[in-house]
Chain A
């Protein structure tokens, strides 16, 4: 790998001024970046380590919960407040990676984790618009079993691999950012960008801007939530399709539902048609199956990943049933 300088930032200003240089990368847990360094996908001249910044706490706030961006995935997953009020988030985190990786991975890093597209990760493959803008996409005509059926463009069909983000999408989290020009809040739905003509851009983060925390709205619906993940083996595998579901129930009646998909899209994917189809309906397998049939609407498959459309519908139906307690 390329030799690089390493800076452990002692305060936010240092982090931002060093980290906004074009050849610099922020590092927190390193569970994505170190891989990519070793693969020569990332070749920074400077690593700015954020570990000392004071963003590792979870605290209740007026309208919900604020989660520090440097909190480890393990701490978040087992936090009693999260386990009770935001079960879907705890379940999603624990469905991801392995205990060792969760012990290292931060919330902010998970938000920004890079795709597992093998063409992106193999620098001997020339065509990758995400790695090398304008070079093409090797996946579209290549081996694309794991690739996206939703949110792709002619230039990229790489999946966003996060489990956590799917839960955050269903919980309608807000991301708090701090940049050289001040702080701002971005809804999770607006945080990740679609590949479109620029797959190399994956979020609205600007140079030097940092995720400082994730805000979860106060809700009781989180207690009726579930994450269901279909994958090739029982553990330590990325989702082929996953669903996060948060139900607001009035007895057997669905007041409101929030549904998001993972493993099938280029970003955490909300399913408004499914959500709408559930409003006002009674909890039943038929209701869930009908609503789930809209989950992947607009999907475009390759030769290898057509199964993901049906799988997405089925994880949604199953997650709805689990959340409603009828599974």
Chain B
């Protein structure tokens, strides 16, 4: 028997295609007769378009059409807001302007350059209204959110905070703020749209959720979903911004319909700041109280986040404060402040990333107030079961994460007092934080086909957003049939394939991985039944549970000489292939448990005491996230998450002009993400964990947990180095001078 592929760090099956440029992305799919569309955006944040002057734009050679509210067709479903990740779009249906850099026209021309030039020559005059842009000033107008979106209720309460506070000898109350951030995946949003007649179309889109795009497009245009095909074979990063269909997707389809040609549209990096969502700024008020021995007695986490004037998105920053520590008295709530800005959206670990910054900073502050080591303080309040849901964990290895990360880091040498460690002229600080992210699973489906030549085809609609979905699904299916990886082909990213959920919330391995495993197991049962019923099979007459698989053949468990190769079995049967498609529901056993991934993030920073420059020198992180399906792609996910956490802590900040709402940090010279020089050796420890309850593949999700806690660990390390507590991210040098 060959060793299982699941768990091994096998190379990505699509790696060669990607590094040789053969993987075609949405905006480079070869399509005949294609023309180009460029979006024109508003210069103001709130008001109405008074006049559009298109004369100069129309005179550019090669221009086919300029769409605006003056000539765009009224679309039947333009204003329909669906459940889930759907957003209200701006589709040139009226002259209103709701945020800066909102779409107000689309220029379509025979070349990209001519479309760009036409777009540049569109001029608009506006009736400008005063825009609401100052969130801190508008906090008094905040209203309580109706829900925390997919994270359940907007507020929670257990125990009696007031009584706990009265009795607690030690408490801290602080406000933490996090800024607007943009996802900025390397591949900008873009698509190519081809209409077939007046009511069928194909969209080659870059999407984390092609079925959501299909639903949106069919609704907006009032055509049946089956007439809309969305293809997304490769995605160059999404991080949440590609989880919802945004205005440009529909605008490109409108453009293609208007000119009767295939149309290609790619957002500029500048447009990525306003057209595809962002992480909203938050103001988070934390109140923590404890007994003298370090027992937590109260947590109150109040979150304010911005949303747009016309849609709602809640950054659920308080959710982890409900369950991360054993504490009898906990209150959380989420409030929204309406601004004249684009609608925010999910961005890698929405809630937990911004929320762990606040909670884990506050925990650090309270630990110091108690003169306790920060890890010891967390162990003192270790939650042995989920205190919010009042359920046992399906698995939890956080204690092991703390221990292994601390050992590797040398944490026991840490001094409790800040500003006590130096290296040369530089101040040295060690900080830590807990990482956590829920293990989700959604219903998903898959189709598995065993071909007559004994090769396997796996099909699922699911997109691979760069995380390695093609690879892990290959591994899962290959193991069920004991086939080598090269005998398995995985096809993804097409609404013509079985329906799957959005690739978000770290749930693809859990949801679609389980569906593939389930379908493959069912197909293997079919295959075994076929062999047992076949008089010509060496396995004829055996019982199903006596049969196993080995190297592309069914084998009798107690007599290895009895084997029937898949190819010969299928050839004898006369079937060209054997196929199974099924829809897999959430694993029933999950309901009795609470399932989360956990981790410990330990960080060393060096701070120049004169210049305030912070450099992360070392990160040691340990994660327990159920079964690791691929050690290599998993490690990449953790590393990427930690790098995001460093960027969250030190750099990332979308700044809007206080008067106009226009994003000022419009390119990568102004919007800083970490570069190589900012990233030291990252030491990731994968703590083995078996979870029989969470789902069929035992994986808890790894895409987002890396960013949780890492921002707080950096900020806590900066405090330890300098004695300066910065509660307002990003932690730039001016805050330390």
Contacts and interface: CB of A to CB of B under 8 A. Distances in A.
A116 B670 contact: yes
A121 to B, nearest CB: 7
Given A141-B659, A307-B737, A232 B675 contact: no
A232 B733 contact: yes
B423 interface: no
A119 B663 CA distance: 10
Interface in A201-260: 230-238, 240
Interface of A: 1-3, 40, 116, 118-119, 121-125, 138, 141-143, 145-146, 230-238, 240, 307, 310-311, 314-315, 317-318, 327
Contacts of A118: 664-666, 670
Contacts of B737: 307, 310-311, 314
Interface stretch (B221-229, B372-380, B649-657): B649-657
Contacts of B658: 142-143
A236 B675 contact: yes
B662 interface: yes
Given A142-B659, A143-B657, A314-B610, 11 more contacts: A118-B664, A122-B664, A125-B660, A142-B657, A230-B611, A232-B651, A232-B732, A233-B675, A233-B678, A234-B675, A311-B737
B198 to A, nearest CB: 35
User: Considering the complex of A and B, which 4 residue pairs feature the smallest CB-CB distances, nearest first?
Assistant: A234-B677, A235-B677, A307-B734, A314-B610
Interface in B622-652: 650-651
Nearest to A142: B657
Contacts of B657: 138, 142-143
Interface stretch (B112-120, B136-144, B512-520): B112-120
A240 B733 contact: yes
A58 B697 CA distance: 64
A142 B611 contact: no
A238 B668 CA distance: 11
A1 B119 CA distance: 9
Nearest to B667: A121
A125 B610 contact: no
Nearest to A143: B664
A244 to B, nearest CB: 16
A124 B43 contact: yes
Contact of A230 (B667, B670, B733): B733
A314 B608 CA distance: 11
B120 A1 contact: yes
For the residues of A in contact with B, the DSSP-based class is loop
A147 to B, nearest CB: 11
A49 B425 CA distance: 47
A259 to B, nearest CB: 16
Contacts, number: 90
A118 B269 CA distance: 14
17 contacts: A2-B120, A3-B117, A118-B664, A118-B670, A124-B101, A124-B662, A141-B659, A142-B657, A232-B651, A233-B672, A233-B674, A234-B615, A234-B677, A235-B677, A307-B733, A311-B612, A311-B737
Contact of B672 (A230, A232, A310, A315): A232
Interface in B577-626: 610-613, 615
B120 A235 contact: no
B733 A311 contact: yes
A143 B737 CA distance: 20
A315 to B, nearest CB: 7
A162 B80 CA distance: 51
Given A124-B662, A142-B659, A233-B672, A318 B677 contact: no
Nearest to B673: A233
Nearest to A43: B120
Contacts of A238: 669
B22 interface: no
Given A138-B657, A233-B675, A240-B733, A121 B666 contact: yes
B116 A311 contact: no
From A125, A234, A310, A327, name the one whose CB has the most chain B CB atoms within 10 angstroms: A234
A236 B679 CA distance: 13
B676 interface: yes
A58 B466 CA distance: 46
A123 B270 CA distance: 12
B666 A233 contact: no
B108 to A, nearest CB: 17
Contacts of B655: 143
A230 B613 contact: yes
A49 B670 CA distance: 29
Contacts of A119: 664
Interface string B255-271: 00000000000000010
A16 to B, nearest CB: 29
Nearest to B660: A125
Nearest to B124: A124
Contacts of A307: 733-734, 737
A116 B671 CA distance: 12
Contact of B117 (A1, A122, A311): A1
Contacts of A2: 117, 120
Contacts of B41: 124
A146 B734 CA distance: 11
A243 to B, nearest CB: 11
B669 A116 contact: yes
Contact of A1 (B116, B650, B666, B675): B116
A235 B675 contact: yes
Nearest to A39: B270
Interface in B27-75: 41, 43
